[in-house]
Copies of this chain bind each other. A is one copy, B any other.
Amino acid sequence: MDRAEGRVTAAVLIIGDEILSGRTQDTNLGDIARYLAVHGVDLAEARTVPDVMEEIVAAVNALRARYDYLITTGGIGPTHDDITADAIAAAFGVALHEHPEIIAIMTRRWPEADITPARRRMARVPEGGELVKNPVQGPPGFMIDNVFVLAGVPTIMRGMLEDVGWRLKGGAVVVSRTVRVEGSGEGVIAAPLEAVAKAHPTMSLGSYPFFGPDGYGSSLVLRGRDPDEVAATVGQLISALKAAGIDNAQEISA
């Protein structure tokens, strides 16, 4: 880990009794750490707390004050023990409201009668919060100030991360672009990705797999200091993927 002055730091807060009981093995911490590194952000601390309001609030306030960013995972589902949105609102001293975009998403998906009180819970976002897209399934996450609130289910969490990176002001690394591949696993992606990475030794290329409605896919993140080189590499990567039989790779951010 870089201890240099001027580095950009983040913390992760894992929320959930199931991690602390040993019932569920957390894998989100490592995924987030690697994603942040590609964006020039150092993960400096992580905490795991139970589904208890005052514990979540205390940890959120300690970590968001101390680090440039805080990413939380877990507790945004529809059941009574999903209290992360409430806790974030309490930590910021703001109210929760039903976000009209989330209600609109639900209205497109379900008939009115199926938008139960439990589902409406998932539409609640603290005042001032912006949505973080969920490309996988279910309602979006949100961000408020320097805090990103993501799902706990790893496939969904990784999908949401795609909408986090472009908002981060990273440290040493300056330019980041993302190429998305759907329907292909990392086993197929690895060889062309590695070939392109080897041709650009000063750049950083990472693969962040997700599992969505159309099966496996991956976000390929390219970072470098030279914007022209990064732009050229995006094209080279898409060509290399096509040569390997993957013809739906496309850039999702620039």
Contact = CB atoms under 8 A, between A and B. Distances in A.
A154 B1 CA distance: 22
A186 B207 CA distance: 30
B22 A30 contact: yes
Interface in A125-157: 137, 153, 155
A224 B153 CA distance: 25
A206 interface: yes
Given A45-B55, A46-B48, A186 B78 contact: yes
A43 B20 contact: yes
Contact of A81 (B33, B52, B176, B206): B206
A155 B211 contact: yes
Nearest to A81: B206
A208 B23 contact: yes
A206 B26 contact: no
A246 interface: no
Q: Is the interface of A mostly helix, strand, loop or mixed?
A: mixed
Interface string A223-236: 10000000000000
A187 B220 CA distance: 32
A18 interface: yes
B30 A25 contact: yes
B27 A1 contact: no
B48 A18 contact: no
Contact of A190 (B48, B49, B118, B223): B118
B21 A33 contact: yes
B29 A22 contact: yes
Given A44-B50, A47-B46, A116-B187, A153 B20 contact: no
A144 to B, nearest CB: 23
Of A118, A122, A197, chain B has the most CB atoms within 10 Å of the CB of: A118
Interface string A13-42: 000011111111111011111100100001
Interface of A: 1, 3, 17-27, 29-34, 37, 42-52, 55, 77-81, 114, 116-119, 121-122, 137, 153, 155, 176, 186-191, 193-194, 197, 204-211, 216, 221, 223
